[in-house]
């Protein structure tokens, strides 16, 4: 396996992380492998790349970025839901 721990995050990896965060939930959710393909990884190796890029042993920088972004998205979604509920309670 490649040692990608200490390397800079590439544009392709950033795109993969963005697709993971954008497509993790909902009706149009995509698998990690599909996100890797969409980010430009070869279809033959997209599953392996997705595994490496979402494994903190291989890609700690990218994994922490994905985790932080997912937490933020969930927090914002949670706040929107709470706001929506309170808007009905206060009527």
Domain boundaries, position 84 = 11-89
Report which of 37, 39, 49 is spatially closest to residue 2, judged by C-alpha positions.
49
CA dihedral 21, 54, 11, 8 (to 10 degrees): 130
Residue 21 lies in a domain: yes
Please, what is the average pLDDT of the chain?
81
Report which of 62, 56, 63, 52 is spatially closest to residue 2, judged by C-alpha positions.
52
pLDDT band at 2 (very low <50, low <70, confident <90, very high): low
Structural domains counted in the chain:
1
Query: Which two three-digit tokens encode residue 25?
Result: 């939930």
CA distance 25 to 8: 28
Q: What percent of the chain has pLDDT over 70?
A: 74
- The pTM is what? 0.72
CA distance 82 to 58: 37
Residue 17 lies in a domain: yes
pLDDT band at 8 (very low <50, low <70, confident <90, very high): confident
Residue 3 lies in a domain: no
């Amino acid at each position: 396996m490649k040692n990608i721990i200490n390397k800079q995050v590439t544009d392709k990896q950033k795109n993969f992380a963005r697709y993971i965060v954008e497509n993790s939930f909902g009706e149009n959710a995509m698998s990690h492998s599909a996100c890797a393909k969409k980010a430009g990884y070869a279809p033959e190796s997209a599953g392996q790349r997705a595994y490496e890029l979402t494994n903190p042993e291989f890609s700690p920088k990218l994994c922490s970025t994905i985790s932080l972004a997912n937490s933020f998205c969930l927090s914002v979604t949670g706040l929107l839901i709470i706001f929506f509920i309170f808007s009905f309670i206060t009527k």
